[in-house]
Structure 1
Amino acid sequence: MSNAEALPEAAPGRAVAPCCPPLTERPFTAEEAETAAPMFKALGDPVRLRLFSAIASHEGGEACVCDISDVGVSQPTVSHHLKKLKEAGLLTSERRGTWVYYRVEPSVLAAMGQLLAVNAATA
């Protein structure tokens, strides 16, 4: 499986199905772990986590790269980290003129939340 399959990208307004059952439901199969790992790996880097958070919390869940690049690393490094987040299926992007806008689809956040949800029976 490719890294992009961690959480499939959705077209705007379409839901993304979670890749795997909630972590508290049962142990992952080897295939499920292979599918989910790229997402966690992408978010395991502090710069990527800051970029993802900046985009997700930006008005409308979308941000121009010009608005989020102040994370203490060079612009080429920011671009590298954004590429990794896209490859993990966590971001989509759209070029508008000279700027690239990044978006976290609400369905991606919902799928991540479902993956990390605590089963009421185990709480």
Structure 2
Amino acid sequence: WSSVANIFFTKSESSNSQIKIDFCERDHGDGYPFDGPGSVTSHSFFPRNGRMHFDNDENWSKGNGINLRQLATHEIGHILGLQHNPDPLAVMHPYFTYRSCFKLQQDDKNGVIALYGR
């Protein structure tokens, strides 16, 4: 996201961070419980609190399978204010399909640039 738009990410241990990432299980108090391994892998909340949750029961992967990097990129898109996109190649497509070489598609780029500029 930061390679195409005027946004920057830095790691912070502060409780005042704008984005908070947690690995949670089942009912974790946000009204959107996880279902264990399988269907719901992650969710995020824009922009009311910048929370991003990943289901700790999933078998997360750096490669083929439930790819953490690919899903985190999608959830960060939501935190930035992007909605789902019907293009099956888009990062913001609502259904996860592992891609060994995934990248932001033009509509993903256009959306984040419209919100944050270049």
Q: Above 0.5 in TM-score?
A: no
Q: TM-score range by the shorter chain?
A: under 0.3
TM-score relative to the length of structure 1: 0.23
Query: If each structure's helix is expressed as a fraction of its own residues, which one has the higher value?
Result: 1
Q: Which has the higher contact order (CA 8 A, sep 6+)?
A: 1
